[in-house]
């Protein structure tokens, strides 16, 4: 016989499950600035970018270390066994060597480059420039992360606003169904009129299902971007888009030329290419270095120094060197470096044209988005007035149910389009900011 749980226990268990579900699915309301800050703090991409900066700084420090003196120290022991130890230089001249010999050799040396054709200085300049390039890469990554967050934020806002309109229209259509059913009961309308309103409600519900599916996808993506638990339900704080003054296109292009990381990076690449040419030419110059050394030579079997058993020569010197074959071996390397510099210059022109086109496109898209808002606002006013007229006519049994449903559909669609257009305009503005390099400035 199967025993059933008492009613109190079942209620308690249900309450516990509901509490567990509410804990696992957290709600969080965020402003756009809060979302951006949270995403930047938790971005794995930006952490990787910082690691690349640290690597560039380390390479710079390693280059600085190359300028420091180099020093070496060694101590060696050698033992020689001499089986054939007699040397003869004729019948009257010969001598015997010992059967074995020991030797200790200690060396301490220090070398300092005095002049190397400027290669060390040029190497420092090159690594400094590469560090700046890495920092600009990080800034570019930050802009992209910020834009991705803004885009997802606005997309979620668009879906949530559309869901509000769907809810409002469902409420309105429910009233119409109730009213049409009452008219049908009174014999004022046909059953077909009631069915039309019910069909309209079903279509709105289908739209709501699609919106909810999109909301879940965008919400999940935004959770990942912001580093939040995947079950967090994000609510968008109301976006109040202030009227923004639109400057002439030339202003935005000038701003992009001054702030885009790509432009600054290519200028640095040009400087690096120029430094590379100088570094190759530096190979043709002579070098000068100073050295100092100390030696300990002990020929006794006892490693402990004893008077008369060892010598300690100390040396200092200057070394002048010149690999003059570089005079004819370097010319093709210089030619290759010049070609690389020319490629950077050509790439600068290509990038500049691309940025101009990008800014112009984003500028026109933003203006078009603003114009759409004006037109859609006017269409809402017209659709609202038309809906009121047909509602009055329908209640007076002058207009058909089809006309009444069509009027509501037009108003419903105009409301959705306006909310989407406002969000599109906001996103278009931030897209324009990104193309001018001012998104995080």
Q: Is the pLDDT of residue 367 over 90?
A: yes
Burial call 193-209: b when 16+ CB within 10 Å, e when fewer: bbebbeebbeebeebbe
What pLDDT, on the 0 to 100 scale, is given for residue 241? 65
Q: Is the pLDDT of residue 71 over 80?
A: yes
What digits encode the pLDDT tens for the residues 143-161?
Answer: 999 999 999 999 999 898 8
Tell me which of 394 and 27 has the higher pLDDT: 27
Q: Under a CB-based contact definition with an 8 Å cutoff, are residues 296 and 332 in contact?
A: no
How far is 375 from 372, CA to CA, in rounded Å? Answer: 5
Integer CA distances (angstroms), 268 to 135, 255, 257, 347, in order? 12, 19, 14, 13
What pLDDT, on the 0 to 100 scale, is given for residue 4? 44
Give the pair of three-digit tokens for residue 98. 């010992």
Tell me which of 254 and 306 has the higher pLDDT: 254
Give the pair of three-digit tokens for residue 350. 């290509």
Q: Is the pLDDT of residue 77 over 90?
A: no
Helix, strand, coil in percent for the chain, rounding step 5: 65, 15, 20
What pLDDT, on the 0 to 100 scale, is given for residue 363? 96
Q: Under a CB-based contact definition with an 8 Å cutoff, are residues 28 and 233 in contact?
A: yes
Q: Under a CB-based contact definition with an 8 Å cutoff, are residues 379 and 167 in contact?
A: no
Ranges 2-6, 183-187, 414-418, 437-441, most confident: 437-441
Backbone angles phi, psi at 112, to 5 degrees: -135, 120
Q: Is the pLDDT of residue 164 over 70?
A: yes
Chain length of the chain:
441
What pLDDT, on the 0 to 100 scale, is given for residue 242? 55
How far is 120 from 124, CA to CA, in rounded Å? Answer: 6
Q: Give the rounded percent of residues in the chain with a pLDDT score beyond 70.
A: 92
Count CA atoms closer than 13 A to 201's CA, side-chain side.
15
Domains belonging to the chain, first-starting first, are 29-67+125-283+328-435 (1.20.1600.10), 69-81+98-115+287-321 (2.20.200)
Q: Under a CB-based contact definition with an 8 Å cutoff, are residues 326 and 283 in contact?
A: yes
Backbone angles phi, psi at 107, to 5 degrees: -135, 130
Tell me which of 304 and 346 has the higher pLDDT: 346
Task: Kindly give the interhelix angle for 261-282 and 249-259, rounded to the nearest 10 degrees.
Answer: 40
Q: Under a CB-based contact definition with an 8 Å cutoff, are residues 430 and 150 in contact?
A: yes
What pLDDT, on the 0 to 100 scale, is given for residue 19? 47
Q: What is the mean pLDDT of residues 170-175?
A: 80
Among 52-56, 73-77, 108-112, 387-391, the range scoring the smallest mean pLDDT is: 387-391
Q: Which of 164, 148, 168, 145 has its CA nearest to residue 215?
A: 164
What digits encode the pLDDT tens for the residues 228-250?
Answer: 999 999 998 777 665 678 899 99
The mean predicted confidence, pLDDT, of the chain is: 84
Among 54-58, 220-224, 393-397, 428-432, the range scoring the smallest mean pLDDT is: 393-397
Q: Is the pLDDT of residue 20 over 60?
A: no
Looking up tokens 């990381």, which residue turns up? 261
What digits encode the pLDDT tens for the residues 249-303?
Answer: 999 999 999 999 999 999 999 999 999 998 888 888 888 888 999 988 887 777 6
Backbone angles phi, psi at 98, to 5 degrees: -65, 155
Q: What is the mean pLDDT of residues 365-375?
A: 91
Q: Is the pLDDT of residue 11 over 90?
A: no
What pLDDT, on the 0 to 100 scale, is given for residue 96? 77
How far is 72 from 109, CA to CA, in rounded Å? Answer: 5
Integer CA distances (angstroms), 302 to 79, 98, 102, 312, in order? 12, 16, 9, 16
**For residue 111, what are the β-bridge partners?**
70, 291
| 32 phi-psi bin (left φ>0, alpha ψ -120 to 50, beta other) | alpha
Q: Under a CB-based contact definition with an 8 Å cutoff, are residues 236 and 160 in contact?
A: yes
Ranges 91-105, 211-225, 373-387, most confident: 211-225
Looking up tokens 């070496």, which residue turns up? 72
């Amino acid at each position: 016989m199967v025993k059933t749980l008492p009613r109190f226990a079942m209620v308690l268990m249900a309450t516990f499950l509901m509490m567990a579900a509410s804990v696992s699915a957290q709600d969080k309301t965020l402003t756009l600035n809060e979302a951006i800050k949270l995403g930047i703090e938790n971005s794995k991409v930006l952490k990787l970018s910082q690691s690349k900066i640290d690597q560039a700084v380390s390479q710079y420090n390693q280059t600085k270390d190359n300028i420091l003196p180099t020093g070496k120290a060694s101590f060696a022991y050698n033992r020689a066994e001499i089986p054939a130890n007699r040397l003869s230089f004729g019948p009257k001249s010969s001598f015997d060597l010992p059967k074995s010999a020991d030797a200790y050799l200690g060396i301490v040396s220090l070398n300092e480059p005095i002049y190397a054709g400027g290669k060390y200085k040029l190497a420092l300049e090159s690594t400094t420039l590469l560090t700046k390039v890495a920092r600009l890469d990080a800034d570019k990554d930050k802009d992209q992360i910020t834009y991705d967050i803004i885009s997802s934020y606005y997309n979620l806002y668009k879906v949530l606003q559309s869901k509000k309109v769907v809810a409002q229209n469902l409420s309105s259509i429910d009233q119409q169904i109730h009213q049409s059913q009452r008219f049908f009961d009174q014999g004022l309308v046909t059953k077909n009129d009631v069915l039309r309103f019910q069909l309209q409600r079903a279509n709105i519900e289908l739209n709501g299902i699609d919106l909810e599916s999109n909301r879940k996808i965008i919400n999940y993506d935004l959770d990942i971007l912001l580093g939040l638990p995947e079950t967090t339900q994000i609510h968008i704080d109301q976006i109040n888009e202030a009227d923004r003054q639109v400057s002439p296109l030339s202003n935005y292009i000038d701003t992009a030329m001054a702030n885009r990381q790509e432009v600054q990076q290519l200028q640095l690449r040009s400087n690096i290419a120029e430094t590379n040419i100088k570094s190759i030419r530096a190979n043709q110059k002579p070098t000068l270095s100073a050295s100092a050394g100390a030696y300990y030579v002990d020929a006794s079997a006892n490693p402990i120094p004893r008077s008369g058993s060892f010598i300690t020569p100390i040396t200092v010197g200057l070394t002048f060197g010149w690999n003059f074959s570089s005079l004819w071996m370097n010319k093709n390397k210089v030619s290759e470096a010049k070609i690389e510099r020319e490629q950077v210059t050509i790439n600068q022109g290509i990038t500049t044209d691309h940025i101009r086109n990008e800014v112009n496109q984003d500028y026109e898209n933003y203006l078009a988005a603003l114009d759409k808002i004006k037109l859609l606002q006017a269409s809402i006013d017209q659709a609202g007035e038309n809906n009121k007229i047909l509602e009055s006519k329908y209640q007076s049994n002058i207009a058909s149910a089809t006309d009444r449903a069509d009027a509501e559909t037009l108003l419903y669609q105009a409301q959705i389009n306006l909310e989407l257009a406002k969000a599109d305009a906001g996103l278009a503005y931030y897209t324009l900011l990104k193309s001018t390099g001012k998104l995080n400035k």
